[in-house]
Structure 1
């Protein structure tokens, strides 16, 4: 059994080539199993659902495919990934749910497609999405508005990851307007979302007219003062990305502060609980969130890459320990009927939604992190 063999490894580097080799037939099976589905959640039966295409998770599966194509050059990955940006774009022609997460939807589809193949429609779609996101910027409060409907003054830490589409557009068009918006929101992340100890707020509410700070909301965390682990990973990875685009050391320092808090809160197996302050900090019976671990691991590798080798070793070693644990204890390698890669993700526990499930974005960031360790140089976010 593949996973039993890997259990003997004490370092990820000892088995990394084997894991990468095993990942390819796993993704090949997923292509056959998922067909045209837009996966989000797989529950106990191991079958991914099929979400609407304007849902925020719609691009993570094609993102996996583009990484596999970029790393292997195998045409069937490109063919399976090719039309996802067109399918998502068609949603703009009707009433839709697009909001702050267009970065999540177009960076792993249209923009990476353009970067790899030079596809002009991919570039056009990516720029259209960047314009849409920039248009959600509230100048009074210096934030990108989250969601739609009556949440006009809400901003969320998840948007840290969407900023990459703005910085890409600024570079692509040689137009600094997009960079200005991205940095303004990132500065609000520094001042309002990341706490002094490195923990992170999920939702901040502002007065949309005056920009006045009104308070913090619990959102997907255990409460307003809690530490939702996936939110931690969004901030960690997102601020590392902003540093890569801007070279502004403040963002790297913030990413490191969040990383230190994240690492200090990890259990012995290095896979995060869903909220580091749930149940008063007594986490023994609390669920894990493998998606938080996978995203954080990929972000830690970004931090490591930004630092001298000796200084970055802390972050790289931590990422490898997290990925080793995910590989050994949370993978579906010996369950070919299972349509996901990782299990034990937590989507939204306070709402009672998607607890102890597989999450497509957990799968994506796991693949992304492994690809980075295997030498992948291109970036989606």
Structure 2
């Protein structure tokens, strides 16, 4: 337990979230939830990018009490999820840049906690597939496979990618092969240059020429418009660049993480949960995103261990997590499976507005784990 943090509320929040996760596992089992609809999590295909967050949540709770009776069932469910996820690795159309989100929280978590050689093998396979998405001329990792009428996705990268780079850093450590790290650093440098604006705000989607690799344009993506500041994208950036600094020790990544963090906190002000886009016009400010708050809070707690301004980031991260617990958690309500309320998936498309989201739940519990003195799974 981190003695600088009040043990009372942190422990209550953790135990509440862990108990809810154990209870949810009895119904959700080895399916892949994304959003809570009328109090119950839905089920998505294992190919969907969020498929790793449920096993990741199970592994977080499992790690806390690995010898408990409940842990054995959580482990069984997570293992079954992992086996389903391996099938996706055999289908080129199912593989995209989100392999880190999926495999750091499933197979690699299993390897780290249980010594699973199958988890390691799958993680290394995923890392090789992620490395294969690197665009040599543009020095970025291609995001998506699908075609689009608004952009040429052969040359598209998105800010979420920063959270997937730890898969490549891990693969370099495991294999002793520096190429994985080199690719990750090249991509991170491109993102820092092309996505992060002078004021610390973040672009969600950048389109590059698929042949020359030159930047063509920004897209609003899940933000309001080009030039806006999608809250979750800012959180991905501050957290992702902090992780890149942790793995590499390259000071330029720390500076970029701090710029994104400072922008996020300035825009958040005294609030706990940000509006879905910091620059959304007045008529579009009725949607919030607790998942952005949870991702940012966990990232701030990561940054607190790395930055000379660590005390500022630690205090900010703790304030957000406590606010999520006290004002946005579902509490002990049996009518809601989600852990935290008021998340927004994709406001421009009208999907998942002000609902619990599985990655919000994961990062909320990851932040609590950090306040208890543990590490995240990335």
> 1:176 maps to what in 2?
178
> 1:5 maps to what in 2?
none
Shift of 1:79: 2.7
Q: Given that residues 30 and 78 in structure 2 are in contact (C-alpha distance below 8 angstroms), is that contact kept between their aligned partners in structure 1? A: no
In structure 2, the CA distance between the partners of 1:354 and 1:156, relative to structure 1 (3 Å rule), is same
> 2:335 maps to what in 1?
337
> 1:235 maps to what in 2?
237
Question: Quick one: distance in 1 between partners of 2:302 and 2:223?
Answer: 25
Gaps of 5+ in 2: 148-152
Q: Given that residues 199 and 261 in structure 1 are in contact (C-alpha distance below 8 angstroms), is that contact kept between their aligned partners in structure 2? A: yes
TM-score when normalising by structure 2: 0.93
TM-score when normalising by structure 1: 0.92
Q: Is it true that 1:15 corresponds to 2:9 in the alignment?
A: yes
Q: Is it true that 1:346 corresponds to 2:344 in the alignment?
A: yes
Question: Quick one: distance in 2 between partners of 1:108 and 1:55?
Answer: 14
Correspondent of 2:18 among 24, 47, 57 = 24
Show CA shifts across 1:304-347 (max 9, x none).
Answer: 01135xx3111011111111111111111131231111111001
Structure 1, 316-325 or 92-101: larger mean CA deviation: 92-101
> 1:50 maps to what in 2?
43
Q: 3-state DSSP class of the match of 1:158? A: helix
Q: Trace 1:73-222 onto structure 2 (pairs within 5 A).
A: 73=66, 74=68, 75-76=71-72, 77-94=74-91, 96-150=93-147, 151-222=153-224
> 1:7 maps to what in 2?
none
Q: 3-state DSSP class of the match of 2:64? A: helix
Shift of 1:375: 1.1
Structure 1, 67-76 or 209-218: larger mean CA deviation: 67-76
Question: Quick one: distance in 2 between partners of 1:239 and 1:283?
Answer: 32
In structure 2, the CA distance between the partners of 1:12 and 1:351, relative to structure 1 (3 Å rule), is farther
Q: Given that residues 290 and 342 in structure 2 are in contact (C-alpha distance below 8 angstroms), is that contact kept between their aligned partners in structure 1? A: yes
Q: 3-state DSSP class of the match of 1:298? A: helix
Structure 1, 259-268 or 70-79: larger mean CA deviation: 70-79
Question: Which 4+ residue blocks in structure 1 deviate beyond 6 angstroms?
Answer: none
Shift of 1:108: 0.1
Question: Quick one: distance in 2 between partners of 1:177 and 1:72?
Answer: 37
In structure 2, the CA distance between the partners of 1:101 and 1:284, relative to structure 1 (3 Å rule), is closer
Question: Quick one: distance in 2 between partners of 1:106 and 1:274?
Answer: 27
The alignment covers a number of residue pairs equal to: 365
Question: Quick one: distance in 2 between partners of 1:227 and 1:115?
Answer: 36
> 2:353 maps to what in 1?
355
Shift of 1:95: 6.4
Shift of 1:284: 8.8
> 2:248 maps to what in 1?
246
Q: Given that residues 30 and 80 in structure 2 are in contact (C-alpha distance below 8 angstroms), is that contact kept between their aligned partners in structure 1? A: no
Q: Given that residues 62 and 84 in structure 1 are in contact (C-alpha distance below 8 angstroms), is that contact kept between their aligned partners in structure 2? A: yes
Gaps of 5+ in 1: 1-10
Q: Given that residues 143 and 155 in structure 1 are in contact (C-alpha distance below 8 angstroms), is that contact kept between their aligned partners in structure 2? A: yes
Question: Quick one: distance in 2 between partners of 1:189 and 1:164?
Answer: 15
Question: Quick one: distance in 2 between partners of 1:119 and 1:246?
Answer: 26
Shift of 1:135: 0.3
> 2:27 maps to what in 1?
33
Q: 3-state DSSP class of the match of 1:29? A: helix
> 1:292 maps to what in 2?
292
Q: Given that residues 144 and 185 in structure 1 are in contact (C-alpha distance below 8 angstroms), is that contact kept between their aligned partners in structure 2? A: yes
Q: Given that residues 97 and 143 in structure 2 are in contact (C-alpha distance below 8 angstroms), is that contact kept between their aligned partners in structure 1? A: yes
Shift of 1:215: 1.0
Structure 1, 128-137 or 63-72: larger mean CA deviation: 63-72
Q: Given that residues 89 and 126 in structure 2 are in contact (C-alpha distance below 8 angstroms), is that contact kept between their aligned partners in structure 1? A: no
Question: Quick one: distance in 1 between partners of 2:169 and 2:355?
Answer: 33
Question: Quick one: distance in 1 between partners of 2:197 and 2:136?
Answer: 23
Structure 1, 205-214 or 21-30: larger mean CA deviation: 21-30
